[in-house]
Structure 1
């Protein structure tokens, strides 16, 4: 062929106090902090190597009420445990990503060139460079060698004299790779992947060369998962004593709409005393408790105030601003469940709206700054559909800016929804 050249599975649990006694070679163990877990042991499991902490946990009980039934009672058995707690280091097999050389079958090339003995400015620059600049000059001369490998070749005395042929050059590179001075994947990059570029710019090509191909092993670098021994701190617990309580929760005074729900939970300590209260829902609760016979606990939960919630944007089903027989008409459809009823006697659902108009010219358009407020008004929404006729001069465009709010409500705050903007309509000339 004539070529023309131009330019661990998880390790056994190991107590913190016994790490120095029996584990694998520390030099091969990489400690990487992990999230602490909690493991409960049974009586047959190994005891801790050192003094653990003894601690009483808290038991939990809860009661839920719906808007359709705002009072309720729940009786539960609650267990409060005394636990022995300690921390151990757990060794396990983990994985990390590393670049490794891999042998793959491929095709190598040998060149037989009629002329070309390494005459090039790049070689001249390398051999004339001072000692501290030689590795940089070699990196510039050889494509694919890289700064690290160039430094290693210079430090180990390679290329003391200029190779007289491409064969001598590849022999020098491969010898360095065989001796571990550079990686074999680097040698593959230089003499195979970048062979055409290197044979030309290093002055070995001459006018023409014959390329002879042969099968060979090539070395490439791949990112692979490599196992290593990692470590994490694991909290161990063992239950040493359990106290059981019969807990009755009575909840009352909840202010809820039919679709709403409150859930209240309490935590009790080893004496049966309520030490924490958490409510999820729409009311805040006061708690009072009484222990009976040491094993029965009665908890009274009474709502003390409603947490007013904002209106949902989903309450607006649809809106339209259209001409009905040449009469501008604004139509608003809302969720009928949002209209106040007997459960909220003083509340009103109100719409505050502004009619904006703009006179249009012969082009049918009007500028942004031409919009003017023509009318501001309010209306009480009493049905699922509200229809508001609007007066708009002829030859004008119009739109509605509006905001819906629920006033004087015991369930919702009075901020209302964010202001919304209707479509535009255009009256006749």
Structure 2
């Protein structure tokens, strides 16, 4: 389709959008009775309308049954987890038994590193991206120290080339090959939080495995945003949060993936808890940990059915919309945004630089605006546009497929152009 830079064309795209009905499934922030433009799904997704009712069902069950709600009622909490992994499998490209819904992102990554970072002799290095989200930096630093090792000796960071903002896939693969005899783990983000760069996870995994290393991913900015095939790519482990693109609420319960080849390995190190004990004999309270032979075996503590309910309300929408359609529209929205920036003269003005690679992205587009960025951000805010400011001079916007529209993208570009005085 030939794109056009006018409001009527954006309205035409909205009218023909097969996912347009899903916007009505979300509560859009309003000011003075007017819906705002919410481009912050990469930070906190909006609330599905069905979330409150789903959580209320759990509260009603708690009221009626007390602790017996784990076993009684229409949806016993003890089996709640089984309802989550099937729709989640379609989101991340995994087998349902390779998934566990638990904890939060960094907690899960620490638990997974217990199992999948096993330094032996000179094979003790961890290769990761430079300037990853600070949580991942702190995760690796403190986890390595806890093992009695020096992070400066262990952690190898791959950076963009001088004068570039993206990390080239070729440079990642070269770094893996250069350190192939000393790598214990390749640990990478699926999408860079700052630039929005989508990394070639399949190629990174293949190179890491060929080098004799384990490979894991932080998918905080990838799950629900970009195509994922964790099982088919042969990824060893991964984790993500569900409050961003997965719309499961602030502080939502996270998720983790463990490839099925590890489910029956009795020698694999892990931190264990009662909730990960095999279900058939869990209530016998016997000594000696026997894990569930699935990713659920990495669970530690009793999960909150209230958080499960919020997660299921959101995942049901993903199942109804279908991941193929979601991914297609997400790409289309960000493509349209980049098109408008080009044809309206915003890019040619030299007042703005797009940090996000056009051929390797999800929903997020990161805009570098030197000197006037903070003032431009304030004008966007005053115009009712929710965006994200990152010091010192970057605005991140993420039009997402389930509740954002092409008309909102068009409107954003008009406000941005005016703010830049282009």
Sort the TM-score into its range (normalised by shorter chain).
under 0.3
Structure with bigger strand share is 1
> TM-score normalised to the size of structure 2?
0.15
Structure with bigger helix share is 2
Give the greater-gyration-radius structure (CA).
1
